[in-house]
A and B are shown apart, each in its own frame.
Chain A
Amino acid sequence: MTGAPITRVTHAPGRLQRFQDGFARALLVEDCAAAGLAPEVARLAAQPAFAVYRNTVMKGCIDALRANYPSVARLVGEEWFRAAAAIYARANLPRHPTLADYGADFAGFLAAFAPAAELSYLAGVARLDRFWTEAHAARDQAPLALAAVARLTPGELARTALRPHASARWAWFDAQPIVTIWRRNRYPDSADDRELEWRGEGVLVVRPKAAVEHVELDAAACAFLDACAAGRPLADAAAAALAASTATDLARLMAGLLDAGAVGGLDILAREPEEHSR
């Protein structure tokens, strides 16, 4: 079969780029007539079938957010969630096509979203849904065993820095029981009808093996992990934990974190770290 037709209208180069600029804009604007679209695109956007593309793009974004933020959706209901997700998506299209990773800053959006102002815990819950997504897709890593720390000499221990597990995400919420609210909505089948205690809570979300798990942490454990993530040696991490809570049992704290799979490795620093007072 021969390829090219005999007669040909050749358009100036750059037409494809102009077409895509206009088409991408027409997908998102409410009023195409007022959007000053190029005539070629305006004629397409005026066809009723153009809505198929608009609807598909928005549905793809909203469905992805719905899948990635199930606890938020359960708290606010499907209708509210999809309306908020549509507003987010119009302003924040995915930056890459792995939609399982879409909506990294949805918690920040909700924190600033006026209709959610009364739901002060919503952004925190969204943050924990995001932790789950990140832990689920993080690189595989065998957690550090307690034995690996136990066999260090006291001299080595002082120079050791623990590296958090590749999947480990943690946060301390000062004023609200975000973790309990999240857990009850992420895992609604788990029976827990105790009255909500209005207090601070912390959590570690981690995937030590195949499944994403979570463990409640106190403020000291969160401060300890923060110091580890910053590359600080154990002495500094311990000081951070004690600063958060003077009653901290450090041996128990470390054993608990290692048991949960929160640690992925350790570095024995070359020499005693210098004093880091400034």
Chain B
Amino acid sequence: MAPSAGLGLKPQHFEEALASPADGVWFEVHPENYMVEGGPRLAWLDAIRARHPVALHGVALSLAAAARPDAGHLRRLGALVDRIQPALVSEHLAWSTWRGAYHPDLLPFPRTDEALARIADNVGRVQDALRRPIAIENPSHYLAIDGHEWDEIDFLEALARRTGCRLLLDVNNVFVSARNLGLSAAAYLDAFPGALVDEVHLAGHSADPALGPALLVDSHDAPVDPAVWALYERLIARIGPQPTLIERDDNLPAFEALLAERERAQAVLRAPLQEAA
């Protein structure tokens, strides 16, 4: 089946998502929100899954922490994967849980040999536990960190080579990071290994309330920016159609508004086929 566009799903939109007739639409959720013993949340997700493909996009395995993934968390993720049979499981190149405390964010780290060895070990443990490869997402950057030993794309490629993991390319993260660190988003995307990409993310960002447009925040609270759409079109023209997600976590609009953004991504994914016809 041709790769199609999906939507990040929030509980506020469950009813409309369930009834959505959109052709090929799939939904992505954060598994952490469904790690409960029972009740309406799981029932909703089961109902969505009965009608549409679902991807699980984790935010809390803390793969870049200098520690193994929490055993209880990994067990709960495994149970959810068994239950939902997701089309894709993904996580972030970041850490969040440290010494028993969960920091609800995706935190950065210096890309060193030590970090690569640790993350590769953690990714391997997760893939062994889930008995499937996972896709790792490129992070958003805000800080200039001293002492990176690795370029980010090289680091992700080496991680994939060592573990067999796949990559999730978030175009908005690339745009935000490039702006914040003074790099070229287009150059990053042109160098990204398309053959390793299993999914593409698109989301909105916003200017930092204190520092203004000099600092963009990956806030997922706005429509996808026109500049990000342009980068996305350029990427798909180069690497070919890939499953693409519209992410929205805050300041939720009507479901139809998200469907319209999803339709735009769908049109980009169809474009190369139309040219070939």
Contacts A4-B158, A24-B99 given; does A97 touch B60 at CB 8 Å: yes
Interface size class of A (residues with CB under 8 A): 35 or more
Answer yes or no: B87 CB below 8 A from chain A CBs: no
* Binary per-residue interface labels of chain B (40-73) against chain A in the complex, 1 for a CB within 8 Å, 0 otherwise: 1101000000000000000110001110001011
Q: Which residues of A contact B217 (CB under 8 A)?
A: 52
> Are B210 and A51 neighbours in the complex by a CB distance under 8 Å?
yes
Answer yes or no: A96 CB below 8 A from chain B CBs: yes
> Are A94 and B101 neighbours in the complex by a CB distance under 8 Å?
yes
- Our pick among A1, A20, A138, A210 for the contact of B65 (Cβ within 8 Å) is A20
A68 vs B69: C-alpha distance when bound (angstroms): 26
> Are A94 and B104 neighbours in the complex by a CB distance under 8 Å?
yes
Which residues of A156-170 have CB atoms within 8 Å of chain B's CB atoms?
A: 166-167
Minimum CB–CB distance from A264 to chain B (whole Å) comes to 12
Of the stretches A40-48, A184-192, A268-276, the one at the interface is: A40-48
Kindly list the 8 A-B residue pairs having the minimum CB-CB distance in the complex, ordered from nearest.
A60-B104, A97-B60, A137-B36, A140-B38, A139-B37, A93-B101, A49-B142, A16-B66
> Are B109 and A19 neighbours in the complex by a CB distance under 8 Å?
yes
Given contacts A14-B114, A57-B105, 20 further A-B contacts (CB under 8 A): A3-B157, A13-B114, A16-B109, A16-B110, A17-B66, A40-B110, A43-B146, A48-B211, A49-B180, A50-B143, A52-B217, A53-B142, A56-B105, A60-B105, A94-B102, A96-B102, A99-B104, A139-B37, A141-B38, A207-B39
> Are A98 and B105 neighbours in the complex by a CB distance under 8 Å?
no
> Are B154 and A40 neighbours in the complex by a CB distance under 8 Å?
no
> Are B146 and A95 neighbours in the complex by a CB distance under 8 Å?
no
Contacts A137-B38, A207-B39 given; does A98 touch B104 at CB 8 Å: no
> Are B112 and A15 neighbours in the complex by a CB distance under 8 Å?
yes
> Are A15 and B114 neighbours in the complex by a CB distance under 8 Å?
yes
Answer yes or no: A100 CB below 8 A from chain B CBs: yes
A166 vs B38: C-alpha distance when bound (angstroms): 10
Contacts A20-B98, A100-B33 given; does A5 touch B154 at CB 8 Å: yes
Number of cross-chain contacts by CB at 8 Å: 152
Minimum CB–CB distance from B267 to chain A (whole Å) comes to 31
* Binary per-residue interface labels of chain A (95-125) against chain B in the complex, 1 for a CB within 8 Å, 0 otherwise: 1111111000000000000000000000000
Q: Which residues of B contact A194 (CB under 8 A)?
A: none
A226 vs B216: C-alpha distance when bound (angstroms): 54
B side interface size, CB within 8 A: 59
Contacts A1-B154, A10-B113, A16-B114 given; does A210 touch B43 at CB 8 Å: yes
B217 and chain A: residue at smallest CB distance = A52
* Binary per-residue interface labels of chain B (191-223) against chain A in the complex, 1 for a CB within 8 Å, 0 otherwise: 101000000000000001011000101000000
Which residues of B16-47 have CB atoms within 8 Å of chain A's CB atoms?
A: 32-33, 35-41, 43
- Our pick among A64, A94, A138 for the contact of B37 (Cβ within 8 Å) is A138
Q: Which residues of A contact B60 (CB under 8 A)?
A: 97
> Are B154 and A4 neighbours in the complex by a CB distance under 8 Å?
yes
* Binary per-residue interface labels of chain A (29-67) against chain B in the complex, 1 for a CB within 8 Å, 0 otherwise: 000000000001001100111111100110011001000
> Are A20 and B66 neighbours in the complex by a CB distance under 8 Å?
yes
> Are B113 and A3 neighbours in the complex by a CB distance under 8 Å?
no
> Are B115 and A96 neighbours in the complex by a CB distance under 8 Å?
no
Minimum CB–CB distance from B113 to chain A (whole Å) comes to 6
* Binary per-residue interface labels of chain A (186-229) against chain B in the complex, 1 for a CB within 8 Å, 0 otherwise: 00000000000000000000010011000000000000000000
> Are B161 and A3 neighbours in the complex by a CB distance under 8 Å?
yes
> Are A137 and B41 neighbours in the complex by a CB distance under 8 Å?
yes
Q: Which residues of B contact A167 (CB under 8 A)?
A: 39
Q: Which residues of A contact B147 (CB under 8 A)?
A: 9, 11, 40
> Are B43 and A56 neighbours in the complex by a CB distance under 8 Å?
no
* Binary per-residue interface labels of chain B (121-146) against chain A in the complex, 1 for a CB within 8 Å, 0 otherwise: 00000000000000000000011111
Answer yes or no: B97 CB below 8 A from chain A CBs: yes
Q: Which residues of B contact A95 (CB under 8 A)?
A: 100-102
Answer yes or no: A69 CB below 8 A from chain B CBs: no
Subset of 21 A-B contacts with CB under 8 Å: A3-B161, A4-B154, A5-B149, A5-B154, A10-B113, A11-B147, A11-B149, A15-B110, A16-B114, A23-B107, A40-B147, A47-B143, A48-B210, A49-B211, A57-B103, A96-B73, A98-B32, A98-B35, A100-B36, A137-B39, A138-B38
> Are B65 and A44 neighbours in the complex by a CB distance under 8 Å?
no
